[in-house]
Every structure is written in C-alpha cells, then in structure tokens.
Amino acid sequence: MNIAFLCPGQASQKVGMGLDLYENTTLGKDYFDRANDIMGLDIQDIIFNGPEDTLKQTQYTQPAIYIVSVIIGLLLMEKGIQPSSAAGHSLGEYSALTLAKSFDFETGLKLVKVRSEGMHNAGRLHPGTMAAVIGLDDKTTRDICDQYTNGIVVPANFNAKGQVVISGEVDAVHAVMPLMKDAGAMKVIELNVSGAFHSPLMTSAKEILSEMLLSIEIQDSEIPVYANVTASPITTADDIRQSLIDQLENPVRWHESITRLVSDGMTRAVEVGPGRVLQGLSRRIDRSLDMSGVETLEQIVSFDYV
C-alpha cells in the first residue's frame, strides 16, 4: 500500500494533546522531556494544561504541534507502518521532514523554535492579517490580489477547490475582502492570526530562519516529501533547505500537493497529528481518497495497515 503521512499546521492545536502519549509511552515521555530542554521553558505544561490563549500564540503553537505530530509519526513507524511519501501543511512540513529522516527531532524543534519566534516578531514589526475566501476559484482570487496596488495582499494558502487564504497588510486585506465577495465568493472570513503568514511581511523571519538553515546539516530524505512551495516531491538536502527558506514568503500549494500525491500513486493518507483540518481539506480535494487521522494512543494501537 502506498501510504502518505500528512502533518498538520498551525490552528490544529488543542489543550491536552499528546498527554496520553507522555503518560503511557517511553518514546513520548522521552521526546516531551527533550522538548522542554530545547525550548528552555515548560512547553509540556503549556501543551497539557494551557491556557488556550497561551497555546495559540505562534511561538508556542508551532513547537507544540511539531512535537506531538513527530511523536505520533514515530510511534506509528515503531509499529511497522512505513510511509511511502509525506507532506505537511506549512509548519507541518517540518514534521514531515523529520519523519522522512532529513533531520532529527532536536534539529527540527530548534528550527521550528526559530521559525515561530521569527514569525511572531515579524507580526509585531509589520502587523498583518489573513482571511479565508470560500467559493472563488484560485485564478480570480490571485488576480484580485495582483490588481490591488495600495498595499500588500497575496494568496497565502491554496487549500482546496474554492478555498483560498489571503494574507497581507491589515488595510489591504480589509480592502480586497469586499472585492472577493463582489467577484462571487460565498464567504470571506477574517482569521484570528498574529501576522500575515506566507507573505512578504515575513521577510524578517525568513532572514533569521535562512541563517540557521544554512548553518545546519540536512540529510537527503528517505522518502519523497511534497514541498509546499512547488507541490512537487523533493528528496535532496539542497532542495529541502531551499524549500524551507522560500516557504515563509510563498503560498502553501496544498491542493496541488494532494492532487500530485494521488497522481503519483498514493492510495491512503493519514493525518499524523492533532485535529482533522487536513482530513477535511482532502475530502474537498478528492472524495475518493482513503484518508484517516491519528492523534491519540488508542488510535495508534488500533491503526490497521491493511
């Protein structure tokens, strides 16, 4: 069976996620303990006990989801479930690359820590926002953003057919939201985020992250990982490094990534990490896709490979 591990991104977090893995598996406890040391703070307490307002802050959310997703993936692999390919939505690309053995858990978490802090600080330095555009095709959404010249607004996530997220300066996003409605969008919903992710407003975060990515060793991945920036499979260390550098300022091409995975032979997909966001998107992209999710120890134990 050609199975793909798909790793979720920001907004999939929930207070208490991974607690069963910490309490009942040696690997889970070991990795959560290592995470506290790397983060230099009690990330366990934030993940397990919240409060939610703290957990949803970018500098904590991203490491938290990364930690839980990687532990779940490793426990599945310990059970003998070996993916043929992987992909991750935005932050999730780091989880996918760790599971593909491009870098180890510690290196990945250090990268995610720098990335999340850089994005948080970029959001404070250059305030921005994001909005979900529902019911409008990709080209029309992109054209409206391109034609707006009084500020920065760009497509940030091509998530599924008729579901695009735009990102940019607050006034610019607010200005194009009614234009999207006028063009036929069913809904345009501003998102509760701390910055304009996957837009040029993330330049300062990209610079800091690039510096670290260029200073660390990255291995060729053991399986293809479908990159957000290109929606194509990559395996070489150079391509992986460049993909992660480019990712912060460019859109997540998730719709294309899933379509390409299917055309390349994926027969089953598993959302490895908290929440059901990617399962929902996958149903919108391709209803025939055999897709499930694993986020608890019980689901890991009962997971059927056949």
* Domain around 56: 3-124+200-302
Q: According to the model, what pLDDT value does residue 304 have? A: 85
Let me know if residue 212 belongs to a domain.
yes
Q: Among 12, 69, 85, 90, which one carries the catalytic annotation?
A: 90
Last residue of a domain, one of 190, 214, 239: 190
Indicate if 140 and 111 belong to the same structural domain: no
195 located within any domain: no
Claim to verify: residue 120 and residue 132 sit in the same structural domain: no
From the list 224, 241, 242, the residue with the least C-alpha distance to 233 is 224
Is residue 116 over pLDDT 70?
Answer: yes
Residue 286 counted as domain residue = yes
198 a catalytic residue: yes
Please give the pLDDT value at position 291: 95
Pair (103, 138) in one structural domain? no
Percent of the chain beyond pLDDT 70?
Answer: 99
Q: Which of 140, 166, 190 is the C-terminal boundary of a domain? A: 190
Catalytic residue (one of 89, 120, 126, 198): 198
pTM above 0.75, yes or no: yes
- Please, where are the H alpha helices in the chain? 19-24, 26-39, 43-49, 52-55, 58-78, 92-99, 105-125, 138-147, 170-182, 203-213, 237-247, 254-263, 277-285, 297-302
> What's the confidence (pLDDT) of residue 300?
97
What's residue 154's pLDDT?
98
Assigned token pair, 255: 């719709």
Q: Has residue 7 been placed in a domain?
A: yes
pLDDT for the residue 1: 73
Q: Say whether both 218 and 168 belong to one domain.
A: no
* Rounded percentage of the chain residues whose pLDDT exceeds 90: 98
Decide if 25 contacts 77 (C-beta within 8 A): no
In this prediction, residues 76-84 reach a mean pLDDT of 96
Phi, psi of 167 (to 5 degrees): -150, 145
Q: Is residue 24 part of a domain?
A: yes
| Residue 261 identity | L
Q: Which of 6, 170, 30, 153 is CA-nearest to residue 88?
A: 6
* 118 and 146 both lie in a single domain: no
CATH of the domain at 84: 3.40.366.10
- Give the pLDDT mean for 202-222: 97
Q: Which tokens hold the place of 80?
A: 């003998």
Residue 180 in domain = yes
Length of the chain: 306
Whether the predicted pLDDT of 14 surpasses 90? yes
Tell me what pLDDT residue 29 has.
98
Average pLDDT over residues 237-250: 97
pLDDT at 306 over 70: no
Q: Are residues 236 and 97 in the same domain?
A: yes
Per-residue confidence band for 204, with pLDDT thresholds at 50, 70 and 90: very high
If asked whether residues 107 and 216 sit together in one domain, one would say yes
Average pLDDT for 52-79: 97
Of 62, 43, 45, 67, which is closest to residue 193 (Cα–Cα)?
62
Provide the domain count of the chain: 2
| CATH number of the domain bearing residue 136 | 3.30.70.250
206 vs 219: CA distance, rounded Å: 21
Last residue of a domain, one of 137, 159, 190: 190
Same-domain status, 216 and 102:
yes
Give the model's pLDDT for residue 9: 97
Of 166, 126, 165, 129, nearest in space to 145 by CA: 166
Mean pLDDT of 251-275: 97
Share the mean pLDDT of the chain.
97
Q: Are residues 64 and 114 in the same domain?
A: yes
148 found inside a domain: yes
